[in-house]
Structure 1
């Protein structure tokens, strides 16, 4: 899966935790992406079985989508904590960098960070 798809899934998860309903426009606003770009990404996620979109345009994660989104979100949270604790950077800096790292970090390194943080 490409980084953008992972970002969409994570954003859908976060938005669904805040609001009952999520639409493509909500994802576009949250990420600062164009509506056509998000529509294309949503279409790919739908055809790959990560999401379903009802006739009103509301997006819901499938079990496969929830699993992937939760995995990405866990990486984001743990990496943010790790960067704040070890590099002593601000939450904002840690969040920004964690968002970049979460898409490329190996499972081995991530598990090592989790062990280091005792999570």
Structure 2
């Protein structure tokens, strides 16, 4: 199943919230992403059907191995681009928003090359 940017955002949000809180429910994701609970419910159903997450009997969300991999890759790109933009002088809020867009459109090849180039400069 091919994920859209919004699906990647939901998985990334669940990963971040799990690291912060341990347990994640739909309402936590709604608050984090500033979207409605029905939007989260629709996304959760789609992601669950796609094998990216599960929900247990107390409605806690858990990433599957595949979901965690997508979430971690998306989050890595997000952090990388946020940091580079801030280093370049971009306001942190703008850097966060722009990184969120960039992370979804950059190819894996381009991202690998940019990471390698950044490591050489360090």
TM-score normalised per structure 1: 0.94
Choose between structure 1 and 2: higher helix proportion: 2
Task: Provide the alpha-carbon RMSD of the alignment.
Answer: 1.2
**Which residue matches 1:113?**
114
Q: 1:18-56 deviations in whole A, cap 9, x for unaligned?
A: 012100111011111111111000001101111010011
Distance 1:32 1:82 in 2: 25
**Which residue matches 2:53?**
51
8 A contact 1:82–1:113 mirrored in 2 = no
Runs of 4+ in structure 1 off by over 6 angstroms are none
Q: Which runs of 5+ in 1 are unaligned?
A: none
8 A contact 1:79–1:98 mirrored in 2 = yes
TM-score normalised per structure 2: 0.91
- What are the equivalent positions in structure 2 for 1:33-112 lying under 5 Å apart? 33-85=35-87, 87-112=88-113
Distance 1:93 1:112 in 2: 24
Count of matched residue positions in the alignment of Structure 1 and Structure 2: 118
8 A contact 1:24–1:59 mirrored in 2 = yes
